[in-house]
Structure 1
């Protein structure tokens, strides 16, 4: 199968520049990066794609067995990188794609120079000594509501995920994005996303990483970002002065600045410390 067509891969920017790969979160598609990715096209080879079941991906490529775990989506990412022969990439993963990127980097560290993890969560369900943001009963109710009325669920939850009530148009856009996804695949992907526990996988990752966290996020609260940062040796943490789970839409300027600062050569970084970064 042609993985470039399967995942609707789009490559832009300078062909001889360092590759920068953007991966969208649950219920979204590569269009969610439209305020962020273009800022890097002059300096990087920018790669965008849609997870199977989202955007303009090949819906026929969805495999319930393969895509029944985040490892299956990580395999898709590795196949894209191998097909494009990009060498080492910087992988920018939003939400569940942060975990997908972590799994891919743990499996094939030779393909990854750096990771940028935007709103990551290795487990959404609370546990003893761990705050994921949701009780198991809340996740079960969320999934049950999704099964019963996917369109209604989308309209209800999207504004909460976006977290910027003063900009209702962003909540509507996210709801519309949910509704463009194949409902059956979206429901299955939701179960994989919200019920997975990948905390143990963090210890397998040796790729340098930047954790980007919004100061308020009902989906992946600040405690989760701090947990991921503490669990990844040598990682850095940047907290954006933003609310919600989608800074790629609600605070793209801040996100672009955080990524640029992280990608700056080390000599420049030492001369100009990152604002909001925690080492």
Structure 2
């Protein structure tokens, strides 16, 4: 699949809708991890299950390490230095973005597995637009942090901290996306009319068979579309003025689904990460 075209031959049921399908194609980054305990403060990293020097965050002196509402230290999940990241439309080209959650069984969720909190409390997304490259100006002693509890991912048992490598790919919309059928089969509407049930079933079966790809299932992902173990978690926030249409980060779990961090493209354009939708699905 090229950046905006499907090269494969499509069955007749999909060929009729080729233009609609190709219009949904988006780029995304598949994040691949390589264990590395010698990462610098500024590098992109996946922190891992164990405390190790390379897994500590970039943190300027005078900046408080993020804590829960109860004063417990949050766990760094991942740190992205956009200066190292392949160009992805709509995303920053510089700055460091960090993802933290509470280190417990609930992954930082308070009551429900979908949260939009002001301020972010038991999880946090932090962005440093102009990283200071002088280590003397950074916090380098993290002995105050407790040992980690954390979790494992579906396909990766990440014990030590890891460097991140990116592979840029392209994929059309996943049918589990709440807007999929509105874009691909607008005649279906909110519910499938009786007279269109055969069309719906034939289209769905062919789409899943022909266009099902790792763009929906890679365990670590930035941008693009993704599948869910349950319904699209963004449905309950459809009343927001802008949709949460951009996937900042996805992390697959052994059980219960995956963790998702979504942002509105309008906020991302301003590098405003104060309003992020955090979900498990």
TM score, norm. by length of structure 2: 0.27
Higher helix fraction (1 or 2): 1
TM score, norm. by length of structure 1: 0.27
Structure number with bigger Rg: 2
Structure ranking higher on relative contact order (CA contacts 8 Å, 6+ apart): 2
Higher strand fraction (1 or 2): 2
